[in-house]
Amino acid sequence: MGNQQIKELLSIQNDYVWLNENFDKLVKNYTDQWIAIKNSIVIASDPDFNGLLSKLTDSAHTVVEFVTREPLGMIL
């Protein structure tokens, strides 16, 4: 793995940390929306997943998360 790939992975990891630390604030502003985060900044939001993806130029290196007050259940 090259230095650039490591930097990209660390940046994504930092964005997930930022997301968790700021989740309460994000819920107030983006309830029931998909958000895209890059470099600790919400760069796009949309209630529709495909609508959000259409706004992104580099979705592979962007944190995408659905913001909701309701806990999401997982089916395993």
Domain membership of residue 76 (yes or no) is no
Domain membership of residue 14 (yes or no) is yes
Domain membership of residue 10 (yes or no) is yes
d(CA 66, CA 74): 14
Domain membership of residue 30 (yes or no) is yes
Question: Which domain covers residue 40, as residue numbers?
Answer: 3-67
Confidence of residue 23 (pLDDT cuts 50, 70, 90): very high
pTM of the entire structure? Answer: 0.84
Our count of domains for the chain comes to 1
Q: Are 35 and 62 in contact (CB under 8 A)?
A: no
Domain membership of residue 73 (yes or no) is no
Domain membership of residue 74 (yes or no) is no
Domain membership of residue 75 (yes or no) is no
Neighbours of 37 (CB within 10 A): 22
User: Which residues are CB-contacts of 65 (< 8 A; sequence separation ≥ 6)?
Assistant: 19, 34, 35, 37
Mean pLDDT of the chain: 91
Confidence of residue 45 (pLDDT cuts 50, 70, 90): very high
